[in-house]
Each structure stands twice: as C-alpha cells, then as structure tokens.
Amino acid sequence: MGRQGAHWPGVVLILILAVVVISAPAGRAAPAVEVSIWGGYPEIAPIYQRAAEAYQQAHPNVKVTVLTTDIRDYERKLAASLPSDTAGNILEVEAPTVERYIEAGLIPKAPPDIAQFVRSRSFNASAQEAASVGPDVYGVPWFAGVGALYYNTEMFKEAGVAGPPQTMDELMAVAKKLVKVDAQGRVVRSGVSLRLFGAGSGVAEKFAILMWPRGGELLTRNAQGKYKAGYDNDAGRATLKMHIDAVFVNKVDSLDIKHDAESFELGQTAMFERESWVIGDIQKNAPTLKYQTAAIPRDQRWGTIVGSVSLYTSRSAKNPDVAWDFVKFLTQPQFERQLLQEVGWIPLRQDVNFDPVIAKFPQYKGFLIRDPKYVYWSMPNIKDFDEIETKLAARLVAAYRDATLAGNAAGIANVLHTAAGETNTILKRDGLYGE
C-alpha cells in the first residue's frame, strides 16, 4: 500500500503537465477557413500542393488540403461521398462523369464571375462546353487528355522512313517497314502498337480515335440531342478491317507481345497512339529514348480526341467563394505550365504561353497543333457512355483475335452490326436513343 501511495505525486505532476500542454495557446492562430481539393490523378498532387502553399501564403487564414487517389478509386469515392455530402470542396471530374452529378443536383452552378472567366477567350469552345450544361457553367476547365502519335525516331531512321505517317493508309504502309520478326516469323517489334486488348473502355476509345478520321464515331447525335451508334458504317468497317489486317494479314502487330506505353518505352514498338502523360512517363522510365510525336494521321477528316477534366465545387462545400477563388488561383499561367512540364497533361487555358515548355520538350508539339483544320473532338457526355464503350470494347477484343475475320467483309460487318444493336439497346433503355 505504501509503495502505491508513493506514486501519487508523480501522477498528479503528469496530469498537470498534460493539462498545461493541451490548454497552451498554439504558436500561431488556427486557420479559419478550410478548403479541400480532391483528384483522381495522383501525379498532379505536387502541383496542387505547390498552389496550396502559395495560396496559403497570400491568405494566411485559409488551409488547403489535397487528396488524390487513382482514378477508379476516386470515381467510387465520388459516387459514395457526393450524395452523402461528405465530398471534398473542390473536385476534379471528367466530362462524361460529371453529367450524372449535375443532373442529381450534387454539383452547383459556378458563380457569375467564374462563369464569365470560363466563357472568356481563355478557353476554347470545346473546353467551355465540357465544363457546362447548356448555357450554364458548372466548372473551370483544367486539363485534357489529348491523343497524338508517338514514334521512335531511331527506328524510323533505321527503316529509312523520313517522317511520321500523314494519312491512315500511310500508317499501315510505314508500320510494315518498321515491324521486326524473329526466325520463326513471330513479331518481336510491332510496326504499330494498336490497342488489341485491355480492360474497360480503352479499346473502344482507341478504335474511335482511328475511326474518326474516316468519318465514324461511337455515337452520333441528332438535332433533338438523342444518340445512336455511329460505327455500323464504312468508317467502322474500314477501321475494324485495319486492326484485323494488322494482326493476321500484314502482321505488323501481334497479340503475344507487350503493348501501349510500356512497349514503346521498352523499344518493342515503333509507333502508338496515346495521351501526353506518356512524355512524363518516358522521362522517368526511359529517359534515353529517341522519339517524337505527331498529329493523328488524316483521312476524310483530320483531328484528335480531347478528354477534358474540369474543376467543380460540391454542393456541400462550406466556403464556396474561397473554393472558387482557389480554383482561379490554380489556373494561373505558372501552374498551367508546371502541369504541362512536370506531369504532361495538356492544360486547357489557351491564352497561356507554353513555348518555354515546348522548347524544352519538343514532343509536346504533337499535342498542341494549332492548325485550324485539325479538329479537337470529344466523346459525348452521357451517363451510359462508359457502359457503351466497355461493352463495345469486349466485342472488339473478341474480334481482334478472330482469324476468321481476316478477308471476311461480311463477318466484320456482322460484328459491328451486332455491337451497334447492343449500343442502341442501352441508349433506348435510358431514353437516350434517337434516329
């Protein structure tokens, strides 16, 4: 007993110290306003962080927190947190995804001064449209995934090819010169790496990028704003034939080798189509790779895809005026240039001079073509689009490995006709179909 009693003064002393520490005034005043920004592209987090620090210096009463996760997790996080009003204050959202949230009233309209900024000459029409629904502006265009053709300049030199292909026909002709096979006739280096397999919608998106110059599109929109499949036609058939011929007839690509950015970085393909983030990826993984980028080859039309991401506020944002002020701060030229140089996504402000970045990384040229004939087109912003693309992708993947489709025009037509039927059924289910 006596021993236990001897501990009391020590315990009392610790308690007093704890109370003093807890109740002591902080070294500096706690920020009065907290703003959070959420995103699905972790590679952008350092830019957000830098902007947050700069903003906090200018506004000491504001604390900006940054939370980024990978895109699929982020989409699920948004789906769970927006309806329950627990989402961040500022949200990065892709154009096709945002529509459902706006429809449900979870993302409010931007205030008039922000709407005016978006409608200004700082953004082109496509970017403005991506951040708006009809006449109403909901977000500030931030960056875009723009497609371009990557090509390995050393392989081109070695094969005696002067420059990147200008037309879709040239694409295959050049690929034939660039492909390498081993003694057993197996492709060890593809002339062009097409998206022949993979999860989700990417296969259909890449198909659409190569079909668009031929006049096709995944969905065509009528005057009433309704949609139907736009690939069950000559453009779609020619594009599917090109993929099947690439594997089974011309053998410029193979199902058994690596594809996409990894393949390009490993020197296992001479050409492929991708967004600008690959430039940053190459800096990290293959800094000695000799390559350039070019416009997507033309056919009946000339252009590339733009997948826009804009910044919005959630309806539950407690300090929307501060959130919008930070969005405006973030879209200043210095952060836009950092986004291009350090991350590789294409910033959407068109009034910013990116020449210093392009001088350092000329590969960005292929993504910033200013030719008025070069069209930057977008996929439709409808809620069913991911399902439509994903289901078409599954059919395309099956078709790309079907050798019986080589030289089989009727078979190719049937694949696309059946797929288009499925697309139209999904549109009809949700009242979005129209001839």
Q: Which residues bind another protein (CB under 8 A)?
A: 72, 75-76, 79, 82-83, 100-101, 103-104, 106, 195, 197-200, 202-203, 255-260, 262, 383-384, 386-387, 390-391, 393-394, 397-398, 401
**Closer to another protein at the Cβ: 152 or 263?**
263
Beta strand 303-313 pairing with 90-94: antiparallel
- For the bound state, the minimum distance from the C-beta of residue 399 to another protein, rounded and expressed in Å, comes to 11
- Amino acid (1-letter code) at residue 291: Y
Choice between 97 and 331, CB closer to another protein: 97
Structure-token pair, residue 376:
């930057």
Residue 210: Cβ-neighbour burial (10 angstroms; 0-12, 13-18, 19+) = buried
- Shortest separation between residue 139's beta carbon and another protein, angstroms: 17
| Minimum distance of another protein from residue 173's CB (angstroms) | 26
CB closer to another protein, 116 vs 414: 414
CB of 403 to another protein, least distance (A): 12
DSSP summary character for residue 364: G
CB 242, CB 170: distance < 8 Å: no
Burial 333-352 (b: 16+ CB within 10 A, else e): eebbbbbbbbbbbbbbbeeb
Which residue, 238 or 394, is less far from another protein as judged by CB? 394
Supply the angle between the helices 385-400 and 234-244 in degrees, to the nearest 10.
50
CA atoms within 13 A on the CB side of 260: 13
Nearer to another protein, 53 or 103 (CB): 103
CB closer to another protein, 88 vs 303: 88
**Shortest reach from residue 345's CB to another protein, in Å:** 19
Nearest distance in Å: CB 184, another protein? 10
Residue 388 · residue 184 · CB < 8 Å:
no
Closest contact distance (angstroms) between CB of 240 and another protein is: 17
Quote the CA–CA distance of 263 and 277 in Å, as a whole number: 15
Residues listed for the chain: 435
Q: Measured from the CB atom, is 251 or 259 closer to another protein?
A: 259
Of the two residues 232 and 389, which places its CB atom closer to another protein in the complex?
A: 389
What is the token pair recorded at 118? 């978006």
C-beta of 418: minimal distance to another protein in Å? 10
With beta carbons less than 8 A apart as the criterion, state whether 305 and 379 touch: yes
Detail the DSSP E strand segments found in 156-270. 180-181, 187-189, 219-221, 227-229
Longest Cα–Cα distance of the chain, Å, equals 98
User: Per the structure block, which two tokens stand in for 353?
Assistant: 């001079």
How many angstroms separate the Cα of 421 from the Cα of each of 363, 388, 429?
40, 11, 12
Beta carbons of 245 and 406 less than 8 angstroms apart: yes
